Amino acid sequence: MNKQVRQDLLPKMEPGQVWLVGAGPGDPGLLTLHAVRALEQADVIVYDALVDETCLQFANSNAVLEYAGKRGGKPSFKQRDISLRLVELARQNKRVLRLKGGDPFVFGRGAEEALTLVEHGIRFRIVPGVTAGIGGLAYAGIPATHRTVNQSVTFLTGHDANGVMPDKIDWHGIARGSPVIVMYMAMKHIGEITRRLIEAGRAADEAMAFVCNASLKNQFVLETTLEKAEKAVRDAGLQPPAIVVVGEVVKLRESLDWLGVAGDRVLKSEIQTRENEQGETA
């Protein structure tokens, strides 16, 4: 099957249309076919701070790139302005790609942006992406579920639209009912979050992990426990973005750290090669 036929199986972006696309947690290999197709066709790409810029290399050479990142504690674009910019571009008859980190509907603002498009009568398409709470953990060797460990998993955000702790989270219910908890945007309030979970009945020595820069070359994983988490994060100098997971699945990383094992093998191979070369020249 030739390339042209394969592309014909995928939808085309139409002028005046907006695609809200999830770029995944960072590794460009996790882009979906729909995402790559959108990058190849878009006239304008409005992208987030959490989109790794290597993903933009799939864009066509004529595409205009517009940064619209929002990062906590830093000067950021207002959400309403971003949404209205999409409307403005679509009304200019542009093919508009709104590229968002992870999945646009999982603790992103994809739904808000889509509702603004509906409000203004703009045609749109949603393209799901690999969310960091699943894909990022997988790159760390931590499964979100394992049938001998958990039959449920809870995803939650560590802060609301105003950057404060969400006041509608039932910490006691989650602590009692969810064997595995996966948290987005939780670094800022991690001390308060861990205290609430322990007060709600979670074991202080329960396994916990922080996956920073998930799926990227500079990925870093910190394993700790609930009671030690705040100090461990501070001592390690960890900075967001990070995915946080609490539960016994963290212990499976000892066997499932495929990326770390691969890195160790590469390092050992390089060392052995250097030793062989030195031996030959001795």
Give dist(CA 48, CA 182) in Å, integer. 22
DSSP state, 210?
E
pLDDT of res. 76: 67
Which of 70, 188, 228, 251 does the annotation list as catalytic? Answer: 70
Q: Assess whether 12 carries a catalytic annotation.
A: no
pLDDT of res. 260: 84
Which of 27, 48, 52, 103 does the annotation list as catalytic? Answer: 48
User: How long a stretch of residues is the chain?
Assistant: 282
Cα-based angle 246, 254, 242 (whole degrees, multiple of 5)? 40
243 and 137 in contact (C-beta within 8 Å)? yes
Torsion, CA 36, CA 213, CA 267, CA 265, rounded to 10: -70
Closest CA to 251 of 180, 153, 190: 180
Buried b (16+ CB within 10 A) or exposed e, 192-216: ebbbbbbeeebeeebbbbbbbbbbb
Domain annotation for the chain: domains and CATH numbers: 7-127 (3.40.1010.10), 135-255 (3.30.950.10)
pLDDT of res. 74: 55
Torsion, CA 157, CA 260, CA 27, CA 22, rounded to 10: -30
Closest CA to 139 of 256, 232, 32: 256
Burial tier of 262 (Cβ tally within 10 Å: 0-12, 13-18, 19+) = exposed
pLDDT of res. 112: 95
Encoded amino acid at 240, one letter: P
pLDDT of res. 111: 96
Each residue's pLDDT, cut to its tens digit, for the chain (282 residues) gives: 556 556 678 899 999 999 999 999 999 999 999 999 999 999 999 999 999 999 999 999 999 999 998 655 555 678 889 999 999 999 999 999 999 999 999 998 999 999 999 999 999 999 999 999 999 999 999 999 999 999 999 999 998 877 788 888 999 999 999 999 999 999 999 999 999 999 999 999 999 999 999 999 999 999 999 999 999 999 999 998 899 999 999 999 999 999 887 554 444 444 445 556 656 655
68 and 77 in contact (C-beta within 8 Å)? yes
Which of 94, 103, 183, 185 does the annotation list as catalytic? Answer: 185
- Tokens 């979970």: give the residue: 197
Give dist(CA 280, CA 128) in Å, integer. 54
Q: Assess whether 165 carries a catalytic annotation.
A: no
Q: Assess whether 70 carries a catalytic annotation.
A: yes
